[in-house]
Copies of this chain bind each other. A is one copy, B any other.
Amino acid sequence: MSEHPTIADIRGAAERITPFINRTPVLASTTINRITGGEVCFKCENFQKVGAFKIRGATNAVSKLSNDQLSRGVTTHSSGNHAAAVALAAASRNAKVVVVMPRSAPGVKKEAVAGYGATIVYCDPGHRAREAAMAAVVDDTGAHFIHPYDDNDVIEGQATAALELLQQVPGLDMIITPIGGGGLISGTALATHGLSPQTRVVGVEPEGADDAFRSFRAGKLIPVDEPRSIADGLLAPLSERTLQIIGQHVENVVTVSEEQIIHAMRTMWERMKIVVEPSAALPLAAIVAGKLDVSGARVGIIVSGGNVDMDRLPW
């Protein structure tokens, strides 16, 4: 496995992708501070292009491809946000995109991917079915596969969200992110380690998809067979690469229940007036549920995305 991205690599990624992404604002809320007892700020990647931080990694990965590679197209598998991100990033370089998606992905995410001009190949839910469909696409087309997280270029890109946050709000005691496959928290941990080593990084997982929680404690990959959660962006398993980075630079991984996720999501909608997807609510859910004590601490939360089907809200 290659070396992990350095802070210099991450700064390079930030320079590369800045023209193509939004510098998202950081919001705070008196009510949330009262509820949590901390001083909590929210890096709003739900306001990012494609509605999620995923455009950062996808844009960085695509921007490193040669014209020759791009001429054979790019491809990926994803429950949605990474797919939309790859589609948009590739479209800006006029490359063809094929996306493998589970049939069960939210309609709003399918539409977004198609709207950016990608071709969708549907597969059954589950990690293995996706990988198989993906391999077939690569065999057929020779397209370049951009993994949603097990890829240093993607991790470098995701790291730029924490890089920006630490520039916008210096001196944070803690940064909290959700964990799916581990791309966001890996990038966050590497950026934070390089830029603000005294800031602790913590990850939050759904109880029903807690492979990172188990793997972090065991020190080796412990997959979950049938991960289930309303946080559809967090069902993917860690890779050796992301587990290694988490093991080195993340202080703790905690879990939250479905009810706690929905409650925190609704709190963010009602109190902060922002639309966030279930995955983005996990950090606040962990605090409100008492899984993380932030009293008196200055805390940054990366709000991972805001793509929600308005006809299927969980309340």
Name A residues whose Cβ lies closer than 8 Å to a Cβ of B.
Answer: 25, 27, 30, 44, 46-47, 49, 51, 108, 266, 269-270, 272-276, 306, 310-311, 313, 315
Q: Are B276 and A273 interface neighbours, CB within 8 A?
A: yes
The oligomer's copy count stands at: 2
- Alpha-carbon distance between A269 and B47 when the two chains are bound, in angstroms: 11
- Alpha-carbon distance between A64 and B151 when the two chains are bound, in angstroms: 60
Chain B residues positioned under 8 Å from A266 (CB to CB) = 310
Could you name 21 residue pairs across A and B whose Cβ atoms are closer than 8 Å?
Answer: A25-B25, A25-B27, A27-B47, A30-B49, A44-B273, A47-B272, A47-B273, A51-B273, A108-B270, A269-B275, A270-B275, A270-B310, A273-B275, A273-B276, A273-B306, A274-B275, A275-B275, A310-B313, A310-B315, A311-B315, A313-B313
Chain B residues positioned under 8 Å from A44 (CB to CB) = 273
Chain B residues positioned under 8 Å from A46 (CB to CB) = 273
Chain B residues positioned under 8 Å from A108 (CB to CB) = 270
- Alpha-carbon distance between A272 and B30 when the two chains are bound, in angstroms: 22
- Alpha-carbon distance between A226 and B311 when the two chains are bound, in angstroms: 31
Q: Which residue of B lies closest to A280 (CB)?
A: B273
A108, A306, A311: most-surrounded residue (chain B CB, <10 A): A306
Q: Are B51 and A269 interface neighbours, CB within 8 A?
A: no
Chain B residues positioned under 8 Å from A25 (CB to CB) = 25, 27
Chain B residues positioned under 8 Å from A269 (CB to CB) = 275, 310
Nearest-Cβ distance from residue A271 to partner chain B, whole angstroms: 8
Nearest-Cβ distance from residue A305 to partner chain B, whole angstroms: 9
Nearest-Cβ distance from residue A284 to partner chain B, whole angstroms: 15
- Alpha-carbon distance between A266 and B310 when the two chains are bound, in angstroms: 8
- Alpha-carbon distance between A30 and B310 when the two chains are bound, in angstroms: 20
- Alpha-carbon distance between A161 and B309 when the two chains are bound, in angstroms: 32
- Alpha-carbon distance between A315 and B46 when the two chains are bound, in angstroms: 22
- Alpha-carbon distance between A25 and B46 when the two chains are bound, in angstroms: 15
Q: Which residue of B lies closest to A275 (CB)?
A: B273
Enumerate the 9 nearest inter-chain pairs by beta-carbon distance, A residue then B residue, closest first: A273-B306, A273-B275, A46-B273, A25-B25, A269-B275, A47-B273, A270-B310, A275-B275, A274-B274
Q: Are A273 and B274 interface neighbours, CB within 8 A?
A: yes
Chain B residues positioned under 8 Å from A306 (CB to CB) = 273
Chain B residues positioned under 8 Å from A274 (CB to CB) = 273-275
Q: Which residue of B lies closest to A29 (CB)?
A: B47
Nearest-Cβ distance from residue A115 to partner chain B, whole angstroms: 10
Nearest-Cβ distance from residue A315 to partner chain B, whole angstroms: 6
- Alpha-carbon distance between A263 and B274 when the two chains are bound, in angstroms: 18
- Alpha-carbon distance between A310 and B270 when the two chains are bound, in angstroms: 7
- Alpha-carbon distance between A49 and B44 when the two chains are bound, in angstroms: 19
Known: A25-B25, A47-B273. 19 other contacts (CB 8 A): A27-B47, A30-B49, A44-B273, A46-B273, A47-B272, A51-B273, A108-B270, A269-B275, A269-B310, A270-B310, A273-B274, A273-B275, A273-B276, A273-B306, A274-B274, A274-B275, A310-B315, A311-B315, A313-B313
